[in-house]
Amino acid sequence: MNKTYCRNCEKETVYVIKTGIQESVVKGVSIHTQVEHAYCQECGAKVFVPSLSEKNLSRVDEAHRKRIGRIQLPEILNLLEQYNIGAKPLSLMLNWGECTILRYLRGQLPDKEHSDRLLSLRDPEVFSNLFSERKGILTGVARRKVDKSLADQLKPDTKENIKRNMPKAALLLFFDQEPGDCNGNKSFQLERFVQAVLFLAQKGIPVTRLNYLLWLTDVLHYKRKKESIFGVPYRRFESAVAPDRHFWIYGALTETDISFISLQNEWIVQALHEADLGGFSESEQEIIKNIRTRESRPTEDLIPDILQKISMIKPFHEIPFSLAAEWISYGSVKEGVLTNDR
Ligand SMILES: [Zn+2]
């Protein structure tokens, strides 16, 4: 039996609940809702029960929002759940104050513009556009959560998607080789390769330089862990080193991830968006970051007489990782490029 204080009886009494229709006026809009009121069983007077009163208020609020076309509170919660994102990160992605959506969750009525924006995000395509523009402000963990929920919701079989994904799918098929000395004991890691390219090409980088730095990154990691990072074979390319079929790989990334700019006699690779190093281990990140930091200085000293060493490889032949690892000078280990080596 539920009891509450009855002012008429001046004591706690048992109450009964009766439903009825109530008219409320919210900001000049008349709204009719079903409400529940409690009455003292002994004297019949209306009594106050906080939980019922709260429920009635939220019914009025819900009806009011519906009436004026604003997003409902449960719909905001559904939206956060739909994309596995928190109220604060979504607020930031929308360029609103950090606590804006939190305030809406506490019951504040969003203005028409905010309400419409939130409602539009129920469409995964719309959300996906916002996400690709603004995901840089999310943490790696938050980003991956959203990424995963989006992947499940976006229709994977649209023509546009197939066209966009086919080049990468072909790469995965082509580079699907057993781990061995040619790929540094690692199967092909396309996504990490792409992120490293984005990271190194953030400010634009000549393609020959990019090729060389990717190779150095892989060889340095191989020297430390007997395993490469990207699982891609490298070949002698003219008097330099390049990932196998590198123009094909970069071609698959143009327009979505990178663009090519012609500068004097060089092709410059320019990243089109930020890199996400979240998929790399700490030691992998350390090497990639070291390599980029050294970018401003000549890195040839990592491998003394590099040109002469490369000339020993037949043109367009693969350079085994075990051989390349021997070329790395011991000095670079001491300099900290290979920290934690022992
Ligand atoms: Zn009473």
Percent of the chain with pLDDT over 90: 61
Rounded to the nearest angstrom, the distance between the alpha carbon of 3 and the centre of ligand 1 is: 11
Residue 337: HSE in the Cβ half-sphere, 13 Å Cα cutoff: 27
pLDDT per residue over 90-147, tens digit each? 999 999 999 999 999 998 989 989 999 999 999 888 899 899 889 999 998 999 999 9
Overall average pLDDT of the 246-259 stretch:
91
Distance CA 94, CA 87 (A): 11
* Residues, CB-to-ion distance under 5 Å, ligand 1: 6, 8-9, 40, 42-43, 45
Q: Write down the domain spans for the chain.
A: 3-68, 73-153, 163-334
CA distance 168 to 256: 11
Res. 224: pLDDT tops 70: yes
Say if residue 338 is exposed, middle or buried (CB neighbours under 10 Å; 0-12, 13-18, 19+).
buried
Q: Could you tell me if residue 269 is left (phi over 0), alpha (psi between -120 and 50 degrees) or otherwise beta?
A: beta
Residue 32 Cα, ligand 1 centroid: separation in angstroms?
A: 28
Cα(48) to ligand 1 centroid in Å equals: 11
pLDDT at residue 340 in the model? 41
Q: Tell me how far the alpha carbon of residue 46 lies from the centroid of ligand 1, in angstroms.
A: 8
Separation of CA 52 and ligand 1 centre (Å): 18
pTM over 0.85: no
User: Rounded CA gap, 53 and 51, in Å?
Assistant: 5
Give me ligand 1 centre to Cα 10, in Å: 7
What's the gap in Å between 58 CA and the centre of ligand 1? Answer: 27
Handedness of CA 295, 301, 306, 307 (dihedral sign): positive
**Distance (Å, whole) CA 300 – CA 208:** 13
Cα distances (Å, whole numbers) of residue 282 to 124, 277, 286, 334, 342: 33, 10, 6, 19, 16
- Give the pLDDT score at 156: 64
Tell me the pLDDT tens digit for each residue of 143-173: 999 998 998 887 666 667 777 778 888 898 8
3-68 fold: Ubiquitin-like (UB roll) (3.10.20)
